[in-house]
């Protein structure tokens, strides 16, 4: 792995899942990381103040920073892939906006991921897009209060066959509509290179051409979604090009580890895992 000036974080919703949630921030710190990200970790309805305080305290006590957080995306294990475009789930998303933004803001987190939602056959595609636009504008307005950006992600159709946004272009089209037509400035592309590679996109070229549109990056090695080095991508090339592009956000490790999570980071030298060390090398 090249000594590239990139900032890495650990997604605690997919890594260290062998541990209780409140123990995972400390495990990430023990592995040498100083930044973490999360899917919305609480079941519906909303968590109590005590649950939010406990998670906040576990992150602060571990000495790591929360750098990205998903809005409530529904029951991911059951196949949900977001709420923003779905009429029956819209109220749930809207009720989560202030809570998610407030929690993120309390920890200095400035990236909030809003998954678009699966196709709903009971309404038309334009109706879903109109609702998504309304909800994303509400989310962006709330996020702007804490200086945060709302990011929109493309998923692969193999694992998420009902999810409409399956390419970088579709995601960027939605972002451009929000920015140009609706005047929303704090919206950007979440470039999950695993999903894009699964859909056949040349991610090295995408990084070269579109890194200026990235609000966040996530990685895993296709086709198995495990750590870099277990699949098909040349990560030396991909990450070097990402560093050379001028991207200075975080790269979220959002992979399913082969073996224990703590043993899955050998591909990334320890001196590159913490943001402070990386910044000193720039």
Question: What residues act catalytically?
Answer: 153, 254
H and E: helices and strands count for the chain: 9, 8
Residue 223 buriedness (CB in 10 A; 0-12 / 13-18 / 19+): middle
Eight-state DSSP code of residue 28: H
- In angstroms, the CA 61 to CA 48 distance is 20
- In angstroms, the CA 244 to CA 211 distance is 10
Close Cβ partners of 9 (under 8 Å, ≥ 6 residues apart): 33, 35, 36, 37, 67, 68, 250, 251, 252, 253
Residue in 247, 153, 243, 236 with CA at minimum distance from that of residue 193: 153
- Half-sphere CA count of 40, side-chain side, radius 13 A: 31
CA dihedral 244, 249, 254, 259 (to 10 degrees): 70
Q: Which run of H or of E encompasses 175?
A: helix 168-176
b/e per residue 103-142 (b: at least 16 CB within 10 A): bbbebebbbbbbbbbbbbeeeeeeebeebbbebbbbbbeb
- Tokens standing for residue 209: 């051409």
Eight-state DSSP code of residue 156: -
């Amino acid at each position: 792995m090249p000594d590239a000036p990139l900032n890495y974080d650990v997604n605690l919703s997919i890594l260290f899942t062998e541990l209780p949630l409140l123990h995972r921030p400390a495990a990430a710190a023990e592995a040498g990381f100083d930044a973490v990200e999360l899917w919305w970790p609480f079941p519906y309805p909303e968590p109590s103040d005590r649950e939010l305080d406990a998670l906040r305290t576990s992150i602060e006590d571990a000495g790591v920073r929360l750098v990205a957080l998903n809005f409530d995306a529904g029951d991911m294990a059951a196949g949900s892939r977001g709420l923003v475009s779905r009429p029956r789930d819209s109220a749930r998303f809207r009720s989560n906006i202030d809570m998610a933004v407030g929690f993120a803001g309390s920890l200095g987190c400035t990236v909030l991921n809003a998954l678009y939602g699966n196709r709903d056959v009971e309404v038309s595609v334009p109706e879903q897009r109109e609702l998504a636009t309304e909800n994303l504008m509400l989310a962006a307005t709330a996020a702007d209060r804490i200086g945060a950006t709302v990011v929109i992600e493309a998923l692969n159709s193999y694992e998420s066959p009902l999810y409409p946004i399956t390419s970088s272009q579709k995601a960027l089209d939605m972002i451009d509509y929000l920015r140009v037509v609706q005047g929303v400035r704090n919206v950007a592309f979440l470039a999950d290179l695993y999903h894009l590679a699964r859909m056949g996109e040349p991610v090295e070229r995408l990084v070269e051409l579109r890194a200026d549109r990235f609000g966040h990056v996530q990685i895993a090695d296709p086709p198995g979604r495990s750590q870099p080095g277990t699949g098909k991508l040349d990560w030396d090339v991909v990450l070097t090009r990402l560093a050379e592009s001028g991207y200075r956000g975080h790269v979220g490790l959002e992979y399913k580890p082969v073996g224990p999570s703590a043993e899955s980071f050998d591909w990334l030298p320890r001196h590159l895992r913490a943001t402070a060390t990386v910044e000193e090398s720039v």
